[in-house]
Amino acid sequence: MRRPLDCLTAQAYNMDMNQLSREQRAMVIRCLCDGVSIRGTSRITGGVAKNTIQKLTRDLGREVLQFHDNVLLENLPCKRLELDEVWNFCYAKDKNLPDSMRGMPGVGSMWTWTALCADTKLIVSWQLGARDAANADAFIGDIASRLGRPVQITTAGNNTYLTPMEDHLVSERRKPGAAVVKCKVVGTRRVP
């Protein structure tokens, strides 16, 4: 007859079973960064559970976001930034949304706004939201708070950038005490 494990041993047993080694975590992250699916990562890594991979991804995302916001990005020496928006959808594409969900925030078309340092390929800032003036303003404001020098900004011609750039990046309109960053908005043109 089996003896039940005492509580302390059971906790230690579960703790050992639920913790991936550093090498296993690195292998999972490497697979995901290479574009391998969660199911494929599970097979490649010797059977790491899909839920464990998703939990590791969430935990890693929180840590990377905290590092990005608190440690890495202050007074960046970037000279050139490339701004872009990438379309994606949450739950369903706009044409397939049920009528009850239309207009709900966080459902349907979403845009990932990105600011990439052209020289170092560092993501300076990102924003997830609609492709509208409010998100453009928040995005450009975040970029302005991270820069420590004048920059050249390249976009694909999205006109929603113009007003926020003038508000946040032109030195005369900066608040006293903030880092002075100059940006001259020359104009926009569509690039095919």
**3-state SS string over 14-37?**
HHHHHCCCHHHHHHHHHHHHCCCC
What pLDDT is recorded for position 183? 53
What pLDDT is recorded for position 116? 92
* 26 to 5, 31, 55, 95, 117: CA distances (angstroms): 32, 9, 14, 40, 26
- Is pLDDT larger for residue 171 or for residue 175? 171
Interior CA angle at 84 toward 95 and 94, to 5°?
A: 5
Confidence of residue 7 (pLDDT cuts 50, 70, 90): very low
Interior CA angle at 87 toward 115 and 57, to 5°?
A: 75
Using one digit for the tens of pLDDT, what is the confidence trace for 57-104? 999 999 988 888 887 677 888 889 999 999 998 888 889 999 999 888
Return the amino acid letter for 152: Q
pLDDT > 90: what percent of the chain?
33
Say how many C-beta atoms besides its own lie within 10 A of residue 113's C-beta.
Answer: 24
- Report the b/e string of 50-77 with b at 16+ CB within 10 A: eebbeebeeeeeeeeeeebeeeebeebe
What pLDDT is recorded for position 27? 94
8 pLDDT above the threshold of 60:
no
Say how many C-beta atoms besides its own lie within 10 A of residue 38's C-beta.
Answer: 17
| CATH class of this structure's domain 74-192 | alpha beta
Strand bridging mode 108-117 / 123-129: antiparallel
Q: Alpha-carbon distance 180 to 161, whole Å?
A: 19
Using one digit for the tens of pLDDT, what is the confidence trace for 22-49? 999 999 999 999 999 999 999 999 889 9
Strand bridging mode 80-90 / 152-154: parallel
pTM for the structure as a whole: 0.67
| Ranges of CATH 3.30.420 domains, the chain | 74-192
107 pLDDT above the threshold of 70:
yes
50 pLDDT above the threshold of 80:
yes
Mean pLDDT score, 132-161: 86
Confidence of residue 138 (pLDDT cuts 50, 70, 90): very high
What pLDDT is recorded for position 31? 94
What pLDDT is recorded for position 171? 59
Mean pLDDT score, 15-20: 62
